[in-house]
Amino acid sequence: MRKKQKTMEELLEEALVPEEEQPYEVPGNWIWVYSKFLLDFIGGGTPPKGYNKYWDGDIPWATVKDIKGRYLVTTRDKITVAGLENSSTTMAYENELLLITRMSPGKSTITKISTAINQDLKIVRPKIQIQPYFLWLFFTVNRTLIESMSTGTTVKGVQVEKLKKIPFPVPPLKEQIRIAAKVERLLSKIDEAKRLIEEAKETFELRRAAILDKAFQGELTRKWREQHPEIESAEVLYNKIIRFTKPKNVSSNVEQKLNIPDTWKMVRLGEVVQVNPPKKKLEEISDQQICTFVPMPAVSDKTGKIESPEEKEYAKVKKGYTFFLENDVLFAKITPCMENGKSAIAKNLKNGFGFGSTEFHVLRTNEYINERYLHYLVRSKKFRLEAKGEMTGAVGQQRVPKEFLVNYPFPLPPKEEQDAIVDILDEIFTRDDIAYRIIETKYELETLKQSILSKAFRGELGTNDPTEESAIELLKEVLQEQVK
């Protein structure tokens, strides 16, 4: 017996999302429709590996690694006609939407080329007139929702049946075009703002590096030296320090790489500071005392400060952790923490001592070395690049060896000039840091982007024309085929 055909009213009732289930209110000439009545999700596949005749042809073949932005213009891999014909891959055509359903579910792009796709992607092909850019906006807005619908432990994926149940707000076709044009214009401005901000950040980094180079060659304090000719030379200071530090296993004959003032002296870092000093003070500490604990994440690579220290019982941390005292300089020795500039001066320690990650080197100064001068040195990009070149160990877990720090050529000024250099750097970088923070926080671009996308799907961009024909007419066109 032939199945009774449904009327248009019955089909509309199935397709349209009931008012109580609609996520939010939209303009009167928009409609809420379940995605399965609007969209087809077409899967792809991979030609058999090991068959040379299927690969390195002229047909682009897209995978998850190719989906990086709003548009797809090229793919890493290509297949042959034989590969296309002898696999389950499918061709997407120019201006179609590709949606990732596995590995990074919810991410999408508009392809600007004809391309085959693999099994981790779906071609989203509308059954009614929906602009490709508007379709991309929909999946971008709903990416978090799609991720939450995904399952899997090692690799997450979302089922097509779940995608078909997502409510879709459909505006009239002309409104789709206006929304797409306005959002593209606004997002392009955001992208340009991001580019300018990154350029500004790079300029700050270059400026900082140039200033530090001048500081460690005595150029910042040239006028200061003219005003203080009576200050004793670093040679005299060095002789005082040596009696204090009694360095061992430190190379001599420092190569004069920097053009420093005559009153300075180029020395080895290990001659004037202690690198990972012995833990003699531990014997004086009671197990009942509370101390400061500094895990690696507590050190900010932006401010060079310990921003979220913890308090722990000494008895629980005295073994297996790095020990330090007030005013010691902590220097991260592991990749990528070292490269990001994670280092800090230990300040305001509970009971005057602390413990931290084993991935810190500890540099202990004395009355002749300004710890802030040393801190500026180890945070400098030049120092970190040189340290990176000496790292040892497995890739990804390399460490800066102690010997690098001990034997590092250190430009030693008189103590009074160290203090003057620090004061100058503090003043310069305080101003720069304020400007840098303004650049980072003034333009909350991702928040702005999400706001624009959200407004686009609520009809709040000021583009909707309430006199235009309702989008329900678009839906009726596709449903009409089921009535015949």
Q: In Å, how far from its chain's centre is CA 73?
A: 24
pLDDT at 2: 56
More confident residue, 285 or 428: 428
Q: What is the pLDDT of residue 407?
A: 92
* Integer Cα distance of 265 and 193 in angstroms: 46
Give the integer Cα–Cα distance in Å for 193 and 445. Answer: 8
The DSSP output letter for 34 is E
**Mean per-residue pLDDT for 149-175?**
92
Instruction: Find how far residue 330's CA is from the centre of its chain.
Output: 24
Q: In this structure, are strands 90-92 and 39-43 parallel, antiparallel, or unpaired?
A: unpaired
Q: Is 325 in a helix, a strand, or coil?
A: strand
282 backbone dihedrals φ, ψ, rounded to 5°: -55, -35
Taking a C-beta distance cutoff of 8 angstroms, is the pair 63, 120 a contact? yes
- Interstrand relation of 265-268 and 77-79 (parallel, antiparallel or unpaired): unpaired
What is residue 256's predicted lDDT score, i.e. its pLDDT? 60
Residue 87 — very low, low, confident or very high, per pLDDT cuts 50/70/90? very high
Tokens of 337: 């923490």
Q: What is the mean pLDDT of the chain?
A: 89
Q: What pLDDT, on the 0 to 100 scale, is given for residue 288?
A: 76
Give the model confidence (pLDDT) of 205-260 as tens digits: 888 899 999 999 999 999 999 999 999 899 999 988 887 666 666 666 666 666 89
**Lookup result for tokens 């002229």:** 58
Per-residue pLDDT of 104-137, as tens digits, reads: 899 999 999 999 999 999 999 999 889 899 999 9
Query: 211 φ, ψ to 5°?
Result: -65, -45
> What's the half-sphere exposure (Cβ side, CA atoms, 13 Å) at 371?
21
Q: Which residue is listed with tokens 């109580």?
A: 20
Contacts 24+ apart (CB under 8 A), 190-198: 190/445, 190/448, 190/449, 190/452, 193/443, 193/445, 194/445, 197/439, 197/440, 197/443, 197/445
> Other CB atoms closer than 10 Å to residue 273's CB: what's the count?
25
pLDDT band at 50 (very low <50, low <70, confident <90, very high): confident
The string of pLDDT tens digits covering residues 167-193 is: 999 999 999 999 999 998 998 998 888
432-438 contacts at long range (C-beta below 8 A, 24 or more positions apart): 432/204, 432/207, 432/208, 433/303, 435/204, 436/201, 436/204
With b meaning 16 or more CB within 10 Å and e meaning fewer, what string describes 287-315? eeeebbbbeeebbbbeebebeebeebebe
In angstroms, the first-to-last Cα distance of the chain is: 18
Query: According to DSSP H, which parts of 256-327 are helical?
Result: 269-272, 314-317
- pLDDT of 12: 87
> What radius of gyration, in Å, describes the C-alpha atoms of the chain?
32
What is the reported pTM? 0.62
445 pLDDT more than 90: no
With bands split at pLDDT 50, 70 and 90, how would you rate the model's confidence at 412?
A: very high
- When pLDDT is averaged across residues 191-201 and rounded to a whole number, the result is 82
76 has pLDDT over 90 = yes
Closest CA to 263 of 242, 235, 290, 288: 235
Helices 371-379 and 381-389 pack at an angle, to 10 degrees, of: 60
* Dihedral pair phi/psi, residue 79, rounded to 5°: -125, 170
Three-class SS state of 276: coil
Nearest to 172 by CA among 31, 24, 38, 35: 31
